[in-house]
Structure 1
Amino acid sequence: MPAALPSQPLVTAPQLGQLLVASRKRRKLTQAEVARRVGLSQNRISYLEKNPDELSFKQLLSWCSAIGLELRLGERDAAGPKNVSEW
């Protein structure tokens, strides 16, 4: 099992897509394997990795579970990023 990635704030959809791809690859999973676990087609996984703003919340939770990620929400640090214009 690969070493755990440190938690990181996400403030844009492209960051989410990059994290999903990086996490999948770290676990040596193909798009087809993630698709099977999430209940989507491989083509849809490919599309959503490039267009993560179109993920439903339910899909995101399933995807996180399938690749060993945990989704957490919390108050933003006052010194953290403030630009959320893409959301």
Structure 2
Amino acid sequence: MSAALSTQPLVTAPQLGQLLVASRKRRKLTQAEVAQRVGLSQNRISYLERNPGELSFRQLLSWCSAIGLELRLGERDAVELKNVPEW
């Protein structure tokens, strides 16, 4: 059995991009392999890794599935909300 997976709180788009790249590399997948699984071009995958704020929700869900991530949403503690950047 594999070790328990850790969760990664995300509050900014750049954090999402970093997580997608790190997860892809940890699974030893190329951008081209992810592109094929998601139904996009390798160039688009490269662009979206650098500009994750432009990912559609559908693309994000497909991408997470392709690289073995699970998307979860939950409420943050009040203490954490004090440090949330304004959009």
In structure 2, C-alpha distance between the alignment counterparts of 1:32 and 1:21, rounded to whole Å: 13
* 1:33-60 Cα deviation digits (max 9, x unpaired): 0000000000000000000000000000
Shift of 1:84: 3.2
CA distance in 2, matches of 1:28, 1:63: 15
Higher relative contact order (CA 8 A, sep 6+): 1
- 1:46 maps to amino acid: S
Structure 1 unaligned regions, length at least 5: none
Q: TM-score, normalised by structure 2?
A: 0.90
| 2:48 match | 48
Question: 1:30 maps to what in 2?
Answer: 30
Matched to 1:84, the amino acid is: P
With the length of structure 1 as denominator, give the TM-score of the two structures: 0.90
Q: What's the offset of the Cα at 1:83?
A: 1.9
Please give the alpha-carbon distance, in whole angstroms, between the structure 2 residues aligned to 1:69 and 1:84: 25
Give 1:77 shift.
1.7
Task: Look up the SS of the partner of 1:48 in the other structure.
Answer: helix
Rounded to whole Å, the distance in 1 between the matches of 2:27 and 2:4 is 10
**Residue 72 of structure 1 corresponds to which residue in structure 2?**
72
1:79 Cα offset (Å)? 2.4
Contact 1:2-1:27 within 8 A present in 2 as well: no
For the residues of structure 1 that align with 2:2 and 2:17, how far apart are their CA atoms? 20
Give the unaligned 5+ runs of structure 2. none
- Percent of paired sites with the same residue: 84
